[in-house]
Amino acid sequence: METLLTAFLASTVRTATPLALASLGEGMCERAGVINLGMEGTIIAGAFGAAVGAAAGGTVLGIAGGALAGLVVSCVFGIFAIWLRTDQIITGTAVTLGALGLTSALYRVTFGTQGVALSIPTLAPLPLPLLSSIPVLGSAFFSQPVLTYIAFVLAPVCSWFLFRTRTGLIWRATGESPEAVRSAGGRPVQVQLLATSLSGLLGGLAGACLVLSQVGTFADGMSAGRGFIAIAVVALGRWHPSGILAASLLFGGSSALQYLFQAAATAIPYQVFLALPYMMALVVLTSGRRGHAAPAALGGKLENSLS
Amino acid sequence: MRIPHFLSAFAAALALACTGDRSKDADASTTFRVALLTPGPITDHSWNAGAYSGLLEIRDSLGAEISHIQTKTPAEFEENFREYGKRGYSLIFGHGFEFQDAVRRVAPLFPKSVYVVTSSQLAGPNFAGIRFAFEEPAYIAGMIAASVSRTGVIGLLGGTELPPVHAGFTAFRDGVRRVRPESRILVSFVGNWDDASAAKEQALAQIAQGADVIFQNADAAGLGVFQAAREKTGVVVIGSNSDQNGVAPDVVLGSVVIDLPRAYLTVARVIRDGRFTGSVFELGAASEVVRYVANPAMPGRVPHAAQVTADSVWQAFVNGSFHLDPDEATRETSR
Amino acid sequence: MSDRLLDLRNVQKRFGSVVALDGVSLQVASGSVHALLGENGAGKTTLMRIAYGLTRPDLGRIGVGGTWRHFRSPMDALDAGVGMVQQHFSLVPSMTVAENVVLGTRLPFRPTVIRRIVLELAEKTGLPVDPDARVETLSIGAQQRVEILKVLVRDARVLILDEPTAVLPPQQGRELLSWVRNFCTEDRAVVLITHKLEDVRAVADAVTVLRGGRCILTGKTYDIPDDTLVGAMLGAPLEPVERVVRHAPSGPPILQAKDVTLRDARGIVRIRNADFSVRAGEVIGVAGVEGSGHRELLRAVAGRLKPFSGSLVLPQRVGYVPEDRQNDALLASLDLRQNLLLHDAARRRGFLRWKSVERSAESLISAFDIHASGPRAAVDTLSGGNQQRFVLAREISDRPDLLVAANPTRGLDVRAAQYVLELLGKLRDDGMAVIIQSNDIDELLETCDRILVTHAGRVREARPDRDLIGRIMVGAA
């Protein structure tokens, strides 16, 4: 039983990691008032960038490649949605569809129809001394690839940044009322561009995580909707980094649970299990009313800055 | 309804523009032209990759002019079938049973072309399905899996529960039970054919339940199953559709292969030679299109006695003295 | 220019084809309160937005404390010592007072530290606030104090206040003006945008009058008689206000409240056991200080708030001009036709006949002298006064039995306010019942037949006596 529990916890953490990275990025972005529907696109771009980077020069280059590719995609989104003030929802969707198609085409151009198979170097688990020897929890939480630790450290860092720094205050205020920020001498456009870039960076890392610490290869569409789930996770986590991390773990946990349930061979149709994570998210969304609601200016266009 | 009509008119105009003013009929009769519609990327090392190799084989062996397009929605299926029909292609493949509705609608409009749908029972004057007796090698794979497993727990992992996947899994299970009636069989589905990361987690969940042999049929997502086996000692995977032995030679026990290139070539020869009779292409053990291919990089893993039994069952499939009950295939996979 | 703390020279600005400022200069001396007087659309706010870096001038120079400056953003203005409190507050509602005050500053950001800074500043400046309160829970008056603190925390020497008393009840308005007087020491100055003469008389040392984007008059306040100021503002002498002849209401009661208790959105009881009735053909005034319950009372008689208990009988058709017309009565980016349709949108069935809607909008525009380019003009292209007129016109267009109007003259210049009040009187004469709420007791006394005063959740009818009403409002009677 202990091994099964450990397997469940480890699977939870692994499934939650890319989701947590993407959701933290999306959450930071939404806190600044931008809803980045291009997240799915940044993840798949990150996965492709990581595959190219790792194939060329190992895992470190892979992580860098993933982050860079995500950044590029989010910059495209930022230039249109924030700089040129196009509609955020439409722009985000276009960016996602574009990135899915483009990575698929580029993958064929770069690696040929045979692809990279499973030849990409992957990140080995990095057991933390002492912590990893804790029974049950140790191997689940403290014997993970480096990207997992990054995700877990990032949540408190984001929290600290948002709630304990001056820049974080401006960041949050931009999501609530860009006009107030401008009146107080801040620059909402800059803040939102920065926030979008950060979301791209983290979305790229999420993609890199899929390739480098999980599958060891690139596959078309391997982001498999995680960018959209991330948007739900942000709402589930009430736009708070620690809430987002918890919501990612909940999503990871319910996914891991459905994997185990399916594998345990019951008479219930598998589609029921596939719906489990989403049903749990709905339950949490409708039951929890506490905490921060959506940023007031989310998804809105900035007023013309100097008229 | 107005838009598709407009689009097809546009596509026709485009097709005319592309072929220029060469006489379409004359051109079609001199050049054997073959088109392929796949439901997914041809980089999946599996189902779609196999079809594309088949297409290349047709080009190389029969000197045909080829075209390939990746499609996603039923509307796209129909649109592209029309387009190729208008352009006078002799043979148009729809790669998967999901294409059969579109073929049923479009094929009667283009009687000079032959539409072939893989994994389908379809038959008509200028269209037909290819039925692979995938169950036969899957049955053999099940027997071998049972003989290799130490734990007696065997996993089955699919993308979604399509009828051909279901049939293969059922035969595999029967093969396992023939050798070890008491063994436990776990069945999981990813829910899609792309999410390699989820497939890997599901494989790990099966491994945690004790599975040490996993038979996967999940296309691109299946790559995650190999990765899972690599990270756990003593776990082997049986691949599907293409020969996946080279994808991860250290963990692949063998592959249940549909030799798609051979199947495509076989069908293309029939069409080119004008031997098409309007009935389903039945491709089983005897045709050599389906077979179980052991991974040469993993010799001696299968006990000799078990291998001998499996070989003899295979011979029985080939000479027709043993066949699986077709009703078996429609039964629930494991439950 | 050593004593000129703020020095604007020949400022010009046009928006599209409209000239907002046509070469305006303004000198504000150290230690002085300088009133900027003018009708709506005279260019007062635009001039001050330029001084605060929110709007860029087409031409002109800005000097602060003897140096010429170039402001690219409010940050530059604040660094130079110029701060502005805009008429529509720019606070972040979901954040605390302390967070709002330090937003955009370079102060060390630790909760305990900013809390202390805000408390000390509030103490020092005499503007009491609770640093931990969320801004959305505060009254308008408290929000205004937060806005002022936001500017003062940056050591602003020039404080620009845009219509600060317009949103306040009289008592709080007077307190604010005396605060302004005390604030304005040797090395500081205040620019007070207003269109109230009494504000100018109460506190301003100097006054500049703008009209149509030009500077009409500037000088020491005590040098200039009222008539001259009014003449400069309006361009023509104002007609004397005709005293309304009160007459006993003849119609039947159309609104009856018995033992009505009201709760606000957060469940707090705002009005307790109120009894009153309104007859057709009378104008009822409602007076009350911030938080006394008048806001909920008005929403209830307009049919927007269901009583928690008691019985409230309302007439079939009620017109409503809410206090915040931009957010509660209009869709700013849509045109006048569509905003007109909003009026009875819930009752409409079937298809819209745009031609007839356009004709109705046209007739309202001409009947109420609304300055708009046509029925297809977006609401946000109209000035505040014209928006108010449009809402009023829309609400009375189908002859309701009762018209409820909150602060109907808020933000209007003298002429527009007079027009609105006259119109309300005319409607009354036609047999309509009218309920208006206003922060200006004199306005109520001039217009209303009867006056209801709210204080701490109680509704009382008061004799038309200025002192008595004032005492009831603050709870002294």
Regarding whether B142 and B127 lie in a shared domain, the answer is no
Task: Find chain A residues with C-beta within 8 A of C162's C-beta.
Answer: none
Task: Give the pLDDT score at B108.
Answer: 93
Helical H segments across C317-465, by residue range: 325-328, 336-341, 354-367, 384-396, 414-429, 441-447
Searching chain B, which residue's CA lies closest to the CA of residue A5? B208
Q: What is the pLDDT of residue B329?
A: 47
Residue A301: its pLDDT value, please? Answer: 55
Cβ neighbours of A186 in C, within 8 Å:
75, 103-104
Q: Among C56, C91, C102, select the one facing A306 at the smallest CB separation.
A: C56
* pLDDT at C329 (0 to 100): 86
The parent domain of residue B324 ranges over 135-257+303-330
Kindly report the CATH number assigned to the domain that includes residue B122: 3.40.50.2300
Calpha distance C112→C123 (Å, rounded): 16
Could you give the number of structural domains in chain B? 2
CATH architecture of A2-124+140-293: Orthogonal Bundle (1.10)
Q: B335 in a domain, yes or no?
A: no
| Residues of chain C found within 8 Å of residue A177, distances taken between Cβ atoms | 90-93
Pairing state between β C450-455 and C283-288 = parallel
Rg, Å, chain C Cα set: 23
Q: Answer yes or no: do A270 and B191 touch at CB < 8 A.
A: yes
Local confidence band at C290 (pLDDT 50, 70, 90 cut-offs): low
Residue A164: its chain C contacts at CB < 8 A? 109-110
B251/B267 same-domain check: no
* Closest A-chain CA to C86: A183
Which of B250, B253, B234, B153 lies closest to A216, judged by CA?
A: B250
Q: Identify the top-confidence range among A25-29, B167-171, C148-152, C178-182.
A: A25-29
Question: Regarding beta strands C402-406 and C318-321, do their DSSP bridges make them parallel or antiparallel, or are they unpaired?
Answer: parallel
Same domain? B58 vs B127? yes
Q: Is B295 within the bounds of a domain?
A: no
- Whether residue B245 contacts residue B295, with contact meaning beta carbons closer than 8 Å, is answered with yes
Average pLDDT over residues A14-32: 96
Nearest of C418, C428, C399, C60 to residue C213 by alpha carbon: C60
- Identify whether B231 is part of a domain: yes
pLDDT confidence of residue A292: 62
Distant-in-sequence, close-in-space partners of A183: CB < 8 Å, separation ≥ 6: C54, C74, C84, C86, C90
Task: Say which of B197, B211, B248 has its CB closest to residue A214.
Answer: B197
**Mutate: best of B38, B165, B184, B188, partner A, most A CBs <10 A:** B188
Q: What is d(CA A149, CA C17) in angstroms, rounded to the nearest whole number?
A: 59
Do B276 and B315 lie in a common domain?
no
- Whether B191 sits inside 8 A of A271 (CB atoms) is yes
Q: In a mutagenesis test of the B interface, which of A103, A113, A213, A251 is the best target, namely the one with the most B β-carbons within 10 Å? A: A113
Q: Do B309 and B279 have their domain in common? A: no
Q: Please report the DSSP string for chain A in residue order.
A: -HHHHHHHHHHHHHHHHHHHHHHHHHHHHHHTT---TTHHHHHHHHHHHHHHHHHHHHHHHHHHHHHHHHHHHHHHHHIIIIIS---HHHHHHHHHHHHHHHHHHHHHHHH-TT--TT-S--PPPEEPTTGGGSTTHHHHHSEE-HHHHHHHHHHHHHHHHHHHSHHHHHHHHHHH-HHHHHHTT--HHHHHHHHHHHHHHHHHHHHHHIIIIIISS--TTTTTTHHHHHHHHHHHTTT-HHHHHHHHHHHHHHHHHHHHHHHT--SS-HHHHHHHHHHHHHHHHHH---S----TTTTPPPPPS--
Please indicate, yes or no, if residue B43 is contained in any of the structural domains: yes
Q: What is the 3-state secondary structure (H, E, C) of C272-319?
A: EEEEEEEECCCEEEEEECCCCCHHHHHHHHCCCCCCCEEEEECCCCEE
| Shared-domain flag, residues B81 and B125 | yes
B22, B108: one domain? yes
Residues B34 and B164 in one domain: no
To the nearest 10 degrees (0 to 180), the angle between helices A2-31 and A226-236 is: 80
Of the listed ranges A135-149, A153-167, B81-95, C151-165, the one predicted with least confidence: A135-149
Domain ranges of chain A: 2-124+140-293
Same domain assignment for residues B39 and B184: no
Average pLDDT over residues B200-217: 94
Choose which CATH entry (3.40.50.360, 3.40.50.300, 3.40.50.12780, 1.20.120.50) describes domain C241-317+399-477.
3.40.50.300
Contact C90, A183 (CB under 8 A): yes
Mean pLDDT of all residues in B17-30: 44
Give domain status of residue B227, yes or no: yes
Interval C386-410 mean pLDDT:
87
Are A263 and B186 an interchain contact pair (Cβ–Cβ within 8 Å)?
yes
Whether the pLDDT of residue A199 is over 90: the answer is: yes
Within a domain: residue B83? Answer: yes
Is B281 among the domain residues?
yes
Residues B240 and B323 occupy one common structural domain: yes
Residues of A in contact with B206 (CB under 8 A): 263
B269 in the same domain as B227? no
Please report the ipTM that was assigned to this predicted complex: 0.88
SS3 C149: helix
Q: Which residues contact B110 (CB under 8 A, 6 or more apart)?
A: B82, B85, B86, B126
Is C360 within 8 Å of C341 (Cβ atoms)? no
Query: Which tokens go with B217?
Result: 């049929």
Residue B327: pLDDT band with limits 50, 70, 90? low
- Closest CB to A169 among C56, C73, C109: C109
- Dihedral of CA A127/A130/A133/A135: which sign? negative
Given a cut of 70, is residue B2 above it in pLDDT?
no
Q: What's the topology of domain C4-234?
A: Rossmann fold (3.40.50)
pLDDT tens per residue across span A120-166: 888 888 888 878 888 777 777 888 889 999 999 999 999 999 998 88
For chain C, which residues make up each domain, given as ranges? 4-234, 241-317+399-477, 332-398
Helix (H) or strand (E) holding C49: helix C44-51
Per-residue pLDDT, C145: 93
The whole-number pLDDT of residue A302 equals 54
**Average pLDDT of chain B, as a whole number:** 85
**Tokens encoding C294:** 């008048």
B34/B57 Cα distance (integer angstroms): 11
Touch of A by B (3+ CB pairs closer than 8 Å): yes
Greater pLDDT, B155 or C377: B155
pLDDT band at B331 (very low <50, low <70, confident <90, very high): very low
Residue B190 sits in the same domain as residue B323: yes
Q: What is the DSSP letter of C378?
A: B
- Mean pLDDT value of segment C232-257: 65
User: Using N-to-C axis directions, what is the helix angle for C170-183 and C466-474, rounded to 10°?
Assistant: 80
CA distance C236 to A283: 68
User: Measuring CA to CA, which residue among A104, A99, A123, A107 is closest to residue A227?
Assistant: A99
Kindly report the length of chain B.
335
**Chain C residues with beta carbon closer than 8 angstroms to that of A187:** 73
Which of C92, C105, C152 is the best mutation test for A, with the most CBs of A within 10 A?
Answer: C92
